[in-house]
Structure 1
Amino acid sequence: MLCAVYKTLRKEGMYLYLPKKDNFNDVPESLMKSFGKPQFVMLVAVEKHAKVAGVHADTLKKALAEEGYYLQMPAQLENWLGEHRESLGLPRKVEE
């Protein structure tokens, strides 16, 4: 199974996966509005990989078959400094 991968210029690390290139029919209109103009990145052979950009291939295949798309959100960045400050009994953020 090939899938098309698109990125958005609005949010770093957000990707949209589709089972057919340039076929956005199954993607909700509200998602397309917030995603903006999709920028084609590549075609990926899903079955050749256990994971595709950190997404389990089975999860991706299931979403593509059932929903007609898969939206990958950016990974949450860890706030090590905030966690360390909290462990010291300080506020997570330094007040200015």
Structure 2
Amino acid sequence: MKRICSIYHSSRKNGMYLYVLKEDALKRVPEALLTVFGTPRHAFDLVLSPQRKLAQEDIHKVLENLEAQGYHLQMPPAEDEYIEHLPEELLRRNDPL
């Protein structure tokens, strides 16, 4: 099952994205979610299928949410995860070649 999806990024939270079916646009997204999300800014459109890989989301969960509720919300990575890995990344940068 292929679906054409529009992806919007949040004006309030860096790394938060909203996937919607292009044909529905934002019609099926609850007002309460849009209030928290802020002004949706269109990032790009994408053809989704079960065979496609996404960088940060499970394609099957995205497709399931699009079908069931008309949207999928991608949350940004937890800041703790970023901070937890930061020292390790800095160490690697300072390693001699």
Q: TM-score, normalised by structure 1?
A: 0.74
> Which one-letter code corresponds to 2:77 in the other structure?
A
What residue in structure 2 maps to residue 6 of structure 1? Answer: 8
**Identity over the aligned pairs, expressed in percent?**
34
The alignment of Structure 1 onto Structure 2 pairs a total of residues equal to 80
Pairing 1:32-47 to 2, within 5 Å after superposition: 32-47=34-49
> Which one-letter code corresponds to 1:55 in the other structure?
E
> Which one-letter code corresponds to 1:66 in the other structure?
A
CA offset at residue 19 of structure 1?
0.8
* Cα distance between partner residues in 2 of 1:8 and 1:22: 18
CA offset at residue 23 of structure 1?
1.8
CA offset at residue 80 of structure 1?
3.0
Q: Which runs of 5+ in 2 are unaligned?
A: 86-97
CA offset at residue 35 of structure 1?
1.1
RMSD: 1.8
What residue in structure 1 maps to residue 70 of structure 2? Answer: 68
SS in 1 for 2:35: helix
CA offset at residue 13 of structure 1?
0.2
Stretches of 4+ aligned residues off by more than 6 angstroms: none
Bigger helix fraction: 2
Q: TM-score, normalised by structure 2?
A: 0.73
* Cα distance between partner residues in 2 of 1:44 and 1:60: 12
Alignment counterpart, residue 84 of structure 2, candidates 80, 83, 86: 80
What residue in structure 2 maps to residue 94 of structure 1? Answer: none
CA offset at residue 46 of structure 1?
1.1
